[in-house]
Chains A and B, each alone.
Chain A
């Protein structure tokens, strides 16, 4: 068991709390860097998908895990990022510029949706984003001259500074690089006053307001940032799927993104990564499972969304802190080994905290 001696205030906001973390994280980075040399191309492709999901998960985690708001329409921002990027590439804008434009355009749209939706309680945002996602889906279907409608549109191959990245391995490194940058951005955001303001709002709005935090502004900014990250992930996703169609960005995708952050563990960036791994491999596990189940069950039309729903419900009831929370408990058990007490992680009884005046 490690005890950290606090000798300065800056210690609390350091990226790495102790040397052990530096060691393990560099080990992780090394293994991810050499992964393409060891793994099959298929798995490299899957891993880049994990990275893309993780980028959008960072965005959603900032919103759900750190600000305590729910968006049911993040697929719309994935779509906005993907289509903006594809359209800009099609008219000859350079790759990097187009990706940055896609990010900021998504963030802008997110801010515009957030302004009306965040003046009231968080439920308004959930419903408004749901509405917004439906509107975006219709626009993608009916604005044929730009989006190609149902037929969809092809995405040009990624070409960064003259280097073509259409192979799996260079694309893998591209996604990895952007993911690392996003993680650092998010970490820095979360230890800044803005990040602490967001957490204060999540924990309780009235004290946050008493401390001088402008609720509507902070929430809207959090939502815009979240939309921006998701838009960036969308622009990478456009290359991953290669051909954009409106049915790649449905309500189910929004829900999957939410499941990702809940299952991973709300309120931790580690959780995003766990969640992204989980969400990418679950459909394959379900597909394998179908072969073993009796056909009557395997043929149920809504089986996959149903299983997603079941997992979401089970996690919310039995492990609200997700995979990461479970890991922390696991680690705690071994750190304390002979002295571990069951009550250490017992959930406290909680009561309804009303958000209403009358």
Chain B
């Protein structure tokens, strides 16, 4: 029973990692930029939701929609104002730029909302589902369902919508897509918007489980580990990697001495790099000469 309990809580935690990793992989695939500020964008999303729900007292679903719109605008704005100028710069300068952005976002959030942890009231908080000895909180179920919903939406979006196919084209070959009339710059902004939305939803989903604070963005680091374990640049890989890391973390927390649960994600990452560096779903290849 204990095992099932851990599996479920690990899955729900892993889904959040997976969602953040998804946002990060989306940006990487389309623009070849590595966004280290993804966790902080998630934090910002959670705080916007907090503002709409607790301060402005919107209905939960209206607040959700408002958060999504705000974060989409913010993501696109970030791309347009700051990252657009970095196209063509070496990858490590983009990487460091996003690290710097993360620090700025954290300081700004600390200035606006303060550093004490807060919680978002949700309509589903507090309820539990119990079957024999397994007790699962509604919030965990909502996380898993929400992740499934987003994955389904993304699958349909990339498979059938014009915009989704254009995004795929840009991620496969920017120049060819440009020649075929795809507005590459606009697609970049939209990809950032989409990724910010996914992170914001992840932030709202995780808010009832772990409180929101400006420092919650650090779980983004585990999401990177997840993305690499799953195979850098693969969308299903991001979710699978997230699940692996979430579940391993829960088991390490219970069966191993203290301290191991915090680093288990990183140990998994380093082991993965040793055994299968391209990740579970290998999508990156080294160029051969």
Contact = CB atoms under 8 A, between A and B. Distances in A.
Contact of B93 (A130, A320, A357): A320
B270 to A, nearest CB: 6
B92 A69 contact: yes
Given A116-B274, A352-B87, A135 B93 contact: no
Contacts of A131: 221, 225, 265-267, 269-270
A306 B214 CA distance: 12
Given A119-B277, A316-B86, A128 B269 contact: yes
Contact of A305 (B106, B258, B285): B106
A300 interface: yes
B269 A355 contact: no
Interface string A111-138: 0010011011111101110111011001
B88 A142 contact: no
A121 B284 contact: yes
B88 A351 contact: yes
B108 A123 contact: no
B221 A130 contact: yes
B88 A350 contact: yes
A302 interface: yes
Contacts of B270: 113, 116-117, 128, 131-132, 135
Interface stretch (B47-55, B95-103, B135-143): B95-103
A215 to B, nearest CB: 8
A150 to B, nearest CB: 12
Most buried by B among A302, A305, A317: A302
Given A117-B273, A121-B284, A135 B267 contact: yes
B262 A206 contact: no
A301 interface: yes
Given A70-B96, A300-B107, A132 B266 contact: yes
B212 to A, nearest CB: 15
A258 interface: yes
A46 interface: no
B287 interface: yes
Nearest to B221: A130
Contacts of A202: 90
Contact of A306 (B89, B93, B108): B108
Contacts of A128: 269-270, 273
A70 B172 contact: no
Given A134-B262, A309-B100, A116 B115 contact: no
Nearest to A252: B103
B22 to A, nearest CB: 16
Interface residues of A, number: 60
B107 A303 contact: yes
A312 interface: yes
B192 interface: no
Interface in B93-140: 93, 95-97, 99-104, 106-108, 110-111, 115
Contacts of B257: 142
B82 interface: yes
B20 to A, nearest CB: 13
B234 to A, nearest CB: 12
B289 interface: yes
A68 interface: yes
Nearest to A211: B289
Contacts of A206: 287, 289
A297 B111 contact: yes
A269 interface: no
Contacts of A117: 270, 273
A358 interface: yes
Given A309-B103, A310-B104, A355 B91 contact: yes
A159 interface: no
Nearest to B81: A317
B239 to A, nearest CB: 18
B11 to A, nearest CB: 22
A300 B111 contact: yes
A31 to B, nearest CB: 33
Nearest to B28: A123
A358 B172 contact: yes
Contact of B273 (A116, A352, A358): A116
A313 B224 contact: no
Contacts of B286: 119-121
Given A206-B289, A309-B101, 14 more contacts: A121-B232, A122-B92, A123-B34, A124-B232, A131-B225, A255-B99, A255-B103, A300-B107, A310-B104, A312-B99, A313-B100, A356-B284, A357-B285, A357-B287
Query: Which 8 pairs between the two chains have the least Cβ-Cβ distance?
Result: A306-B107, A309-B103, A350-B88, A131-B266, A312-B100, A116-B273, A309-B100, A313-B100
Interface of A: 64, 68-70, 72, 113, 116-117, 119-124, 126-128, 130-132, 134-135, 138, 141-142, 202, 205-206, 209-210, 255, 258, 262, 297, 300-303, 305-313, 316-317, 320, 349-358
